Amino acid sequence: MKRRKFTKAILLGTIAQSLPLSAFNLSSNISTNELLGKGAPNLTEGSNYRLRPEAATAFEKMKKAALQEGISLQVVSSYRNYAHQNRIWERKYNRFRESGLSPTSAISKIIEYSTIPGTSRHHWGTDLDLIDGNPNVSGDVLVPSKFHGTGPFCEMKEWMELHSEKFGFYLVYTDNTDRKGFNYEPWHYSYTPLSIDYLEAYQKLNVKEILQEEKLLGSEFFKKEFIDAYIQDNILDINPQLLP
């Protein structure tokens, strides 16, 4: 058995006693619309988040465990549909263009942290961005420096490094210097027992064709070489534990 498949099996076994049986009926027939953020997925509404029911159950258990050690896990972002992601894309594209960047430079700037609509892991209801709700923080909260050293979220980051994987949550965009694509995001975690299946299904899509047909702002500059690199570097160059 491959190491990643073995890891997934161990994860499922570890959390088996705390999740409903429906958590293990993982569909291999996930709809294209749900993969692209255009469907109507079954989501659990939590405190400031929307996640797949199994992911929500695991998150609530992790949140409770963290709270016992003084960490208040707070969700900044969870499920985002296609329209939401497109609003982010258009806002950033227009801002960078107005600042004087060329279309291709604006696109490159956006994809340092933000995904092209239709390619976000947040479309699946398996991923979430987390901070510690206890510290009083001003300005942007999703900044890597705030998770390290004397940053306000460093204690949460240390706790997550020790415990998040026990609940099935793995960091997506690690600080591995050999990793390409999106910049390091110490706040972005994925519920692996589900997201591995979603990524496997996503890889079967013709992403090149989909991106070329969407008519997004700046999409006329999505040349074949750009799309090829985006798929390889931004979609697939992630924490190896999250790959099918």
Nearest Cα to Cα of residue 144 among 115, 101, 175: 175
In angstroms, what CA-CA distances link 78 with 51, 103, 132, 138? 7, 29, 15, 21
Is the pLDDT at 19 greater than 70, yes or no? no
Higher pLDDT, 25 or 77: 77
| Contact (CB, 8 A) for 80 and 123 | yes
Residue 211 contacts by C-beta under 8 Å, 6 or more apart in sequence? Answer: 116, 118, 119, 219, 222, 227
Mean pLDDT, to the nearest integer, of 71-78? Answer: 98
Weakest mean pLDDT among 118-127, 165-174, 207-216: 207-216
Q: At residue 15, does pLDDT exceed 80?
A: no
Task: For residue 44, list its beta bridge partners.
Answer: 51
Distance of CA 15 to the CA centre of its chain: 21
Cβ proximity of 194 and 126 under 8 Å: yes
pLDDT category of residue 210 using cuts at 50, 70 and 90 = very high
Determine the average pLDDT of the residues in 13-35.
58
pLDDT in the model for residue 212: 85
pLDDT of 164 > 60? The answer is: yes
Tell me: pLDDT of 3 over 80: no
Tens digits of residue pLDDT in 169-206: 999 999 999 999 999 999 999 999 999 999 999 999 99
Q: Measuring CA to CA, how many Å separate 138 from each of 141, 142, 143, 183, 216?
A: 7, 11, 11, 22, 33
Which helix (H) or strand (E) segment holds residue 157: the answer is: helix 154-163
Cβ atoms 201, 31 nearer than 8 A: no
Instruction: Name the pLDDT band for 5 (thresholds 50, 70, 90).
Output: low
- One DSSP character per residue, 86-153 reads HHHHHHHHHHHHHTT--HHHHHHHHTTT-PPTT--GGGGT-EEEEEESSS---S-S--GGGGSTT-TT
Domains and CATH numbers, the chain: 3-14+39-242 (3.30.1380.10)
Report the amino acid identity of residue 5: K
CA distance 132 to 156: 6
pLDDT class of 1 with cuts at 50, 70, 90? very low
Q: What is the pLDDT of residue 179?
A: 96
pLDDT tens column, 90-107 = 999 999 999 999 999 999
Distance CA 171, CA 178 (A): 16
